[in-house]
Structure 1
Amino acid sequence: MKVNQFEEISAIQELNNEAAASCSGGKVTVFRDRVFRGDRLTFYNKDGDLRYNKEGINLDDAISSVVIDADETWAFYLDPGYKNLVGTLKGPGIYPDVQYGSVSSLKRISPPIA
């Protein structure tokens, strides 16, 4: 007799952010300094607030380079809460000197998040 309905599944594990991103889209990594140097934050398929994050890194008004690893477009905003669009970047692509020093938030705009 089965103890539960999952008894036959030999291994169930949670996907980490990187594995989930590869299944459902990609990720964007933003860097404090030009040419992918300095502090960095990575956002997986979701909106990003550059002021507050679990890593304790504040990149508010401090983005200088960006890497987008999938075929998607990210929008960058001057203010928190996705207000005052600064510009968009399309991936996959590497942008060593974006001069987005006044950005406070970002979000993926294409393809839509399911």
Structure 2
Amino acid sequence: MIYSTDQSIGAVVERLHYRQMLDNSILVVVSDNSGRIRVNPGTNWPFKTTPQIFYGLHEGDMRTPALIWSPLLTKSGYVSDAIVDVTDLLPTVLEAIDGTDSLADERDIY
């Protein structure tokens, strides 16, 4: 699975480079490790006490890899140990490129 993911990301990078778009791109790679709905759903702590999101997008104690890469980013090699949700990606990317969006309610981690 890792090999396949690596090959797929490599193909995207090669295509962006071929089209001369890589220098103006932001690559966001995230993973999903959520529990299955209604069949051994895993643990959603600390969110599992909230019924409306028990089978939602939030997995409280499952860590999955994520990365953001771009030649446009100013912080090279930045690593965050913060608790991050996929909804934090938009404000993070906007902060990294000095952009704004009045609809971004989440927090940036950059």
TM > 0.5: no
- Greater share of strand: 1
- TM-score, normalization: structure 2? 0.30
Q: Which has the higher helix share?
A: 2
